Amino acid sequence: MKKVWIILIALILLAGAAFLVYKKMYRPVEAIESLKVDVKIDESALVGEFTKDPQDANLKYGERVIQLIGNVHKIEQTDSSFTIILDKGEEYIIAASVVKNSIEKAKLVKEKGDITLIGQYNGYLEPDKTFMMPGTIQLSRCYFPD
């Protein structure tokens, strides 16, 4: 009888742990618009920090919400995504992926025009000096402030 109670308690604890893990893994993603801006920076300053020390800049901006001011170099649009590229011909470019509910505003953006957007930093790619390709600073979930 004692073994049955031990097994029953173990199963209840295991089920409780599984439930907590499930709730943690499948919690809804918070809308980017509801998060506060952690950093306001312009394109040249951000690229300069990554050119100077990419690992330090990656740690500094990791998962932070950034308000970025810059000049649009190129716009890449597919059926399911809209990406704004900021490039001044330096060692890094910035690729900003726009959220679905801001795509209509993004379509009004003109190449070579100034832009202010807010997005979440989510990593970078090192430049490839062999093939003379710039590195990429990636912003996701971008939207336009009102």
Pairing of strands 114-125, 74-77: unpaired
* CATH no. for 32-143: 2.40.50.140
| 29, pLDDT greater than 80 | no
Across residues 75-91, what is the average pLDDT? 90
Higher pLDDT, 50 or 30: 50
Within 8 A by CB and 6+ apart from 47, the residues are 88, 90, 91, 92, 93, 94, 137
The partner residues of 97 in beta bridges, in order of sequence, read 83
Average pLDDT estimate for 25-29 = 84
Instruction: Tell if the pTM clears 0.95, that is, is over it.
Output: no
Residue 146 has pLDDT above 90, yes or no: no
Q: How would you list the strands of the sheet with 65-71, edge to edge?
A: 39-42, 65-71, 114-125, 135-143, 92-98, 82-86, 74-77
Angle at 93 between CA 118 and CA 33, to 5 degrees: 10
pLDDT in tens, 41-65: 999 999 999 999 999 999 999 989 9
